[in-house]
Every structure is written in C-alpha cells, then in structure tokens.
Amino acid sequence: MALDNQDIEMENADEVEKKGPEVDATLVLSDLKQNFTLLERAVSTIESRFTTRVLRTTASIRKRLTADVLAQAIKEVYPKDSIDKSRLLDFLGKDSGVMDLDLDDAAKDIPPILPEIDLYLHLLTMIYLLDKQDFDKGIELSNETITKVQSLNRRTLDQLSARTYFYYARFYELTGNLAEIRPTLLAAQRTATLRHDDDTQATLLNLLLRNYFHYNLYDQADKLVSKTTFPETAGNNQQARYMYYLGRIKAIQLDYTVSHTHLLQAIRKASQNVTTAGFQQAVYKLSIIVQLLMGEIPERSIFRQPVLRKPLVPYLHIVQAVRIGDLSKFQETLAKYGEVFRADKTFTLIIRLRHNVIKTGIRMISLSYSRISLRDICLKLHLDSEEDAEYIVTKAIRDGVIDATIDHEKGFMKSKEIVDIYSTNEPQYALNQRITFCSNLHNESVKAMRFPLNAHRKELASAEALRERERELAKEIAEGEMDEDDDVGEF
C-alpha cells in the first residue's frame, strides 16, 4: 500500500508539473481578485489595515506576475470604454482592441472602477515594467500615475500613493535623472503634510533625502530635516530608513555620538531578513566607521553574521588597524580597498580615522611603557619627526586619551599610574545609557500598539447605559420607600 501511495503521489506531482504555469496563473489571478475585494472593504470600512494586507502580498505576487495575467485582470475589472484600461494594456504590449467575446460582453456591465483598485493596477504595471527593465515605458507610466494621484484626495489612497511615489523615484534613479523630479517631490511633500498623509509624507521625506545624498548635497538635506517633522505613525521600514539618513548627516557634521544613536535605532527597527540585506549592510558599514571615530571598537560578532561576513571584510581590516594602532596597515588597507570605500561613500569618514589610529597607538604605548622617548614614539608610529610626535602626544593628553606628562627638555613622555575605572563616572554613564535606551524602547512600543477603531464610542455607550440603569434603580428604590410609607398609615 505504501508503494501504491507513493506512485499516486508521483503521478500527481507529474500532473502538477505539466499544469504548473496554468495553475500558477490561475492562483495569481485569484490573489489579485482577493486583493480587489480587500481594497473595496478598506473603502467601505475606512480601515487602513486591509490596504496594508494588500501591499504585503505585493512581494509574492511580483515574483509570479506576467503580462498575460495582469492583462487578464485589467480586462475583467475595467469597463469596456475605459481610457485607463487601454493605456495599461498598451504599456503591457497587449492589443486593447482585440478582446475575447466573453470578456467584451461582460465588460459592458462592469460598474465604474474604484480609484484604489485603479491605482493598485497602475502600481502593479509599474512594478512589472521595472522588473523587465523597460525604463522608458516605466517613466511614462509613472508620470501619468503621479498626475492621477495628485488629482485625488482620498485617505484610503494614502498607502498606495506612498508606494507609487517610491517606484516613481526608482525609475528616475535608475536612469540617472533624479534631479528632474526634486521639485515634484517637494511639492508633493508639502501637500502630504497639509493633508496629514503620514504614509506619503514619510516616504517622500526619505526619497528627498536619498535624492540629496545622491548628489552629495548634505547641507540641503540637513535644512530639510530641520524644517520638517517625521511622522511618528510611519512604519518601521520608513523609520529605519530615516534614522539611517539622519546618522549619515550627523556623521558628516562630526556629531558622532548622535549619529551612532540614530544608526542603532535604524538597525533595531529594520527587518532582519535576507530581503533587507542591502540596507543592513549599508547601516552596519557606516555604524562601524562611526564607532571607530568615537574611539570604540565594534564587536567581533558583527563580522560573523552570514549576511554581513563578506561585505564587511574591508571594514574588518580597518578595525584591526585601528585597534592595534598600526598606521602602516591602515594605509595599506586604504589603498587596497579604496574603490570599495568610495562606492560605499565612506571614504571621507575613513580618512578621518588616521588620527584615531595614531591616538590608539599612543594609548598602547602609554600602557606598555611608563617612560619612553619621543624618538621611539616617532619610530613606532611611523611619524615624520619628533616635533610631530610631541604635538600628537600633547593633543592626546589634552583630549584625555592618555594620562601622561611630557618633558620637553629631555624629550620623553612619562605615563601616570592607572586610575581605577570604578572611581570615575564611566560606569554611571554606561548605566544611564542603557536606562535611556530601555525607556525609549518602552515608549515606542506603547505608541506602536493598535486599538480597534471607535472602541471608545462603545465604552461611552455602555457607560451611558449603566448610568441609565442606575437612575432607574434609584427611582425604583425611591418609589418603593414611598409605598412603604403609605402602607404604614397612622401607626
């Protein structure tokens, strides 16, 4: 019997393989129709969670989407003489004039399409053109879609509009024309702010910051951040991206402590999966350099993660050079992986690490020697002259990197005794940092909680009914007492 069952399962598997494409097309079409139903429910109930469910299925539908399936869905949803229908079919390379007779007859009775479903089909067509790398058609369709979005003012379109703007900017980025759409994005951002459209506002802020960074316009990006407010109700993905951009701005402005805080929040808010591997790598690369500029050494476990192991190899060499204070190794790594650092846009920050390498070397020397001549320091750190060594050591003493004194006449550095760290404020500072992080995490978790819509109205109704019941009971008791008094009579 077991063999017979295996044979039946193998035969069924062969049949599924033969009908695979047809079954898959049917399933995709069924998923699209289910999403149309969810969008209709989102409009009727004014609940954004149904639109969120639709957008979450975009990734799975995108992998199985074909021009035939998308054209079939368009023909079944749009009325017969719809202009949008013919335009979308033209972008897909399908003849809008020749249709199946059944679909042609059915299209006569189709009611006008909802703007949400219309925009969703435009969005899927844009994604399909992007995957096919047909950028010319994609730019043309995205321009028409953005014009359609700007003409509508419906809160049920907010999430779909935000996703549309993202792919609109993506087409222009891949064609190298990001500067052309900057006025459009700025105008859309102002409109979204006035309409309290948090989803579109968050997406547009990130797109504008990415636009500025593409052309190294960090001053304009900083002005945009100072003049706007990022919505607190935005999703974690948009918040993570915004925190990463803030971290880059603060790192360029030499504010490494604030930059490191923003980058940590970006790492914690980002999804930890293979899909977001590129974003994780970009954040960790910048975070590692910022930690080194702060005088800290990143944990070695970061470089052992599967998603980060290979991309972070150049940064591991930089960390090793800074950790041991080896200036020659730092210069060799910089020359070997210079193109990688330029592509990651971290080359400028890494050049700043040269002073940190020298400081680390001086710290290692001060811990190893209680007294050492400036000439020996110059040889160990590969410096040009003893005057440079004296200047660098003096600056390290002033910055609190080492606790030592310099004898200028005899030309040596003398280290002081090591102070117990627990007698300083360092442990209290570290504890305060952890308490602050836990408090912020708790506050953000409370803000992120979701509650049923209009639940407070039900509570008010039940409270009103309870008060009405109490009044009836009080009235009955009062009437009962009066009856008892009447029954007593002249007693």
pLDDT tens, residue by residue, 209-228: 999 998 888 899 999 988 88
Q: Which pLDDT value is given to residue 248? A: 92
Strand, coil or helix: 229: coil
Closest to 23 measured CA to CA, from 64, 55, 58? 64
pLDDT at 208: 92
Decide: 123 and 165 in contact? Cβ < 8 Å.
no
Whole-number pLDDT of residue 96 = 56
Structure tokens at 237: 């993905």
Sequence-ordered list of residues with C-beta below 8 angstroms from that of 309, at least 6 positions apart, any chain: 303
Per-residue pLDDT band at 22 (split at 50, 70, 90): very low
In CATH terms, is domain 367-418 a member of 3.60.20.10? no
Interval 283-315: pLDDT, tens: 999 999 998 888 788 888 888 888 888 888 999
The pLDDT tens digits of the residues spanning 351-401 come to: 888 877 777 777 777 777 767 777 777 766 666 676 767 777 777 777 666
Rounded-to-integer distance, Cα 220 and Cα 485, Å:
85
Whole-model pTM over 0.75:
no
Q: Which residue has the tokens 């997406």?
A: 203
Q: What is the pLDDT of residues 48-76, one digit of tens each?
A: 888 888 888 888 888 888 888 888 888 88
Complete DSSP assignment for 254-296: T-HHHHHHHHHHHHHHS--SGGGHHHHHHHHHHHHHHHHHTT-
CB 36 within 8 A of CB 78: no
The sheet carrying 404-407 orders its strands as 371-373, 412-415, 404-407
Q: Is 235 left (phi over 0), alpha (psi -120 to 50) or beta?
A: beta
Listed in order, the ranges of the chain carrying CATH 1.10.10.10 are 367-418
CB 391 within 8 A of CB 374: no
pLDDT of residue 26: 83
Paired tokens of 31: 């998923």
DSSP state of 401: S
Q: Cα separation of 356 and 292, whole Å? A: 8
Of residues 329, 256, 243, the one with CA closest to residue 295: 256
